[in-house]
C-alpha cells in the first residue's frame, strides 16, 4: 500500500507558465535586455531556474558578457521579481483540487509537495490557492539544498512524514522528478498534462503514467 504521495508543483499541481515567463521578461528588462516571446520561454521551463535564466539571456553579442557570467545575477533578480507575481495567473489544473481532496481522505495516505521552487514561493502559491491544508509536508529549495534530480528534497519530505521511500510515490511532470525518485528509492508517476513532452516521459520508463488528473486517484489510491 502506498503510504505517501509527493507532488511536484509547477506542471503537476498548478499551471504557472505565464507567471514564470512574464517574470523572466521583467528580469530581462530590469537588466537592460530585450524581452522574449513568452511561448519561447515556456520551452525553457522544467530544467531548473539556472537553465531557465541561462537560456533566456541574450547572446554575448548583445550583453557584452558570456551568459555564464551574469546568470547568477539573473537568477537572483528573477526570484525577487517572481515572488511578487506568483499568483497573477497561476491556478491549479482542472480536477487537481478534487483529486487532492479525494486522496487526502484515504486512510493511511499522506500527501506532500517536493518542488525545486524556493520554499517561500511554493508556500505563497499553495496558501494563495487554498491548497496548503491538503498537505502534511511541503518541501522546496532553501540555500544549501540540492535540487532535483538530486533526491535530497524528497528524502527530507519523507523523513518529516516518517515514511519509508519504498512506501512512497513521487508524482511529477519531468524526468528530473523520475531521476530523483529513483535515487531516493521511490516509485514514480509522471503526468501527461503538464510541461513535459509525453513521448520523452514515456521513453524514460516511469512506474506509472497519468494521462489525466483523474487517473491519479486510481494510481495512488
Among the listed residues 8, 15, 19, 177, the single catalytic one is: 8
Decide if pLDDT at 27 tops 90: yes
Matching CATH number, 17-82, of 1.10.1220, 1.20.1250, 1.10.150, 1.20.5: 1.10.150
The pLDDT of residue 120: 96
The 3-state secondary structure of 35-64, one letter per residue: CCCHHHHHCCCCCCHHHHHHHHCCCHHHHC
Round to whole Å and give the CA distance between 76 and 8: 22
The pLDDT of residue 47: 78
pLDDT band at 67 (very low <50, low <70, confident <90, very high): confident
> Which residues of the chain are in CATH 1.10.150 domains?
17-82
For 4-15+90-220, CATH gives: 3.40.50.1000
Decide if pLDDT at 60 tops 90: no
Contact 196, 173 (CB under 8 A): yes
Burial of 180 (0-12, 13-18, 19+ CB in 10 A): buried
Contact 149, 180 (CB under 8 A): yes
The pLDDT of residue 173: 96
The pLDDT of residue 119: 96
Decide if pLDDT at 53 tops 90: yes
Any catalytic annotation for residue 8?
Answer: yes
Mean pLDDT on 47-73: 89
Residue closest to 16 by CA, chosen among 142, 153, 116: 116
> Which residues of the chain are in CATH 3.40.50.1000 domains?
4-15+90-220
Round to whole Å and give the CA distance between 55 and 110: 37
Tell how strand 91-92 and strand 14-15 pair up. Answer: antiparallel
Burial of 32 (0-12, 13-18, 19+ CB in 10 A): exposed
Decide if pLDDT at 64 tops 90: no
Mean pLDDT on 60-78: 90
The pLDDT of residue 102: 96
The pLDDT of residue 122: 97
Tell me the torsion sign for CA atoms 113, 191, 125, 70. positive
Mean pLDDT on 34-38: 96
Amino acid at each position: 500500500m502506498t503510504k505517501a504521495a509527493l507532488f511536484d508543483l509547477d506542471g503537476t499541481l498548478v499551471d504557472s507558465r505565464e507567471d514564470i515567463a512574464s517574470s523572466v521578461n521583467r528580469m530581462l528588462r530590469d537588466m537592460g535586455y530585450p524581452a522574449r516571446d513568452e511561448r519561447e520561454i515556456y520551452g525553457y521551463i522544467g530544467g531548473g531556474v539556472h537553465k531557465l535564466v541561462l537560456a533566456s539571456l541574450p547572446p554575448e553579442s548583445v550583453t557584452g558578457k558570456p551568459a555564464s557570467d551574469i546568470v547568477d545575477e539573473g537568477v537572483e533578480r528573477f526570484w525577487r521579481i517572481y515572488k511578487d507575481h506568483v499568483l497573477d495567473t497561476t491556478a491549479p489544473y482542472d480536477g487537481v483540487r478534487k483529486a487532492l481532496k479525494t486522496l487526502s481522505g484515504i486512510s493511511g495516505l499522506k500527501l506532500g509537495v517536493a518542488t525545486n521552487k524556493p520554499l517561500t514561493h511554493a508556500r505563497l502559491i499553495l496558501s494563495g490557492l487554498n491548497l496548503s491544508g491538503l498537505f502534511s509536508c511541503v518541501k522546496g529549495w532553501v540555500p544549501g539544498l540540492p535540487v532535483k534530480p538530486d533526491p535530497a528534497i524528497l528524502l527530507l519530505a519523507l523523513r518529516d512524514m516518517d515514511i519509508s521511500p519504498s512506501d512512497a510515490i513521487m508524482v511529477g511532470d519531468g524526468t528530473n522528478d523520475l531521476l530523483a525518485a529513483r535515487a531516493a528509492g521511490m516509485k514514480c508517476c509522471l503526468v501527461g498534462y503538464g510541461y513535459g513532452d509525453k513521448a520523452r516521459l514515456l521513453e524514460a520508463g516511469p512506474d506509472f503514467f497519468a494521462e489525466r488528473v483523474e487517473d491519479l486517484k486510481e494510481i495512488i489510491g
